[in-house]
């Protein structure tokens, strides 16, 4: 089933505005008494994602509305892990630092991804510069570090189980994306130069 929108630009505008709005709302409706660096990072990511959706390229391979559910489960687990974490004022400086590092790495990766950005698996183009010289999916690596910080900040032991589920579905998501991207000769050449998918020297 294809997206029920004849005008992809209109869909990108509405979807982008929605994500952009989430980011801004996170600042004004936060339960935190002070504006923490972690909250600023989350807002920055949402604002940047919203802008990237505004200006992204048209998919070379049409995006499927009811594609594999891995992307949704990954997003849900990320959000739920943040909810399970202690209030930001109780985070240690090391946990906060890990989250901030993951956020910055994600933001930089998004900037290099540019108009090729997508949430569901799709083919828009090939990004090869910057953090993409480290791993083939650097934004997912940054998100994994952010989620790990939430696990460390959580008082619930089952947060580790949720993190395991998140990473399992992220691997599925990466494999599906790569099966689509490998239809492009440019991506095949890129994959030969950048050996690691997600974690350097491991996978």
Instruction: Give dist(CA 14, CA 158) in Å, integer.
Output: 36
pLDDT in tens, 75-108: 899 989 999 999 988 999 999 999 999 999 999 9
Distance, in Å, from the CA atom of 144 to the CA atom of 36, rounded to the nearest integer, reads: 20
User: Running DSSP on this structure, what letter comes out for residue 20?
Assistant: H
pLDDT of residue 21: 63
> Angle 191-105-187 (CA atoms, 0-180°, nearest 5)?
15
Supply 189's token pair.
Answer: 């050449």
The C-alpha R_g of the chain, in whole angstroms, comes to 17
| pLDDT digit string, tens, across residues 34-49 | 668 898 898 888 888 8
For the beta carbon of residue 47, count every other beta carbon within 10 angstroms.
Answer: 19
Q: Quote the CA–CA distance of 24 and 46 in Å, as a whole number.
A: 8
**65 or 21: whose pLDDT is higher?**
21
Contact status, residue 181 vs residue 137, Cβ threshold 8 Å: no
């Amino acid at each position: 089933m294809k997206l029920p929108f004849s005008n992809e630009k209109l869909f990108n505008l509405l979807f982008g505005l929605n994500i952009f709005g989430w980011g801004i709302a996170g600042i004004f409706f936060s339960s935190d008494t002070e504006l923490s660096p972690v909250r600023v990072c989350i807002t920055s990511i949402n604002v940047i994602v919203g802008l990237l959706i505004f200006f992204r390229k048209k998919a070379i391979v049409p995006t499927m509305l009811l594609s594999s559910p891995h992307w949704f489960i990954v997003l849900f687990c990320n959000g739920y892990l943040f909810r399970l974490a202690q209030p930001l004022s109780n985070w240690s400086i090391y946990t906060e630092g890990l989250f901030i590092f993951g956020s910055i790495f994600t933001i930089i990766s998004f900037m290099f991804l540019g108009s090729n950005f997508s949430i569901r698996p799709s083919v828009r183009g090939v990004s090869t510069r910057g953090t993409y010289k480290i791993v083939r999916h650097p934004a997912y690596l940054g998100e994994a570090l952010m989620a790990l910080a939430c696990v460390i900040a959580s008082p619930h032991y089952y947060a580790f189980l949720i993190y395991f589920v998140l990473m399992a579905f992220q691997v599925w998501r990466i494999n599906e994306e790569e099966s689509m991207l490998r239809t492009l000769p440019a991506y095949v050449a890129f994959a030969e130069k950048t050996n690691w998918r997600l974690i350097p020297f491991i996978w």
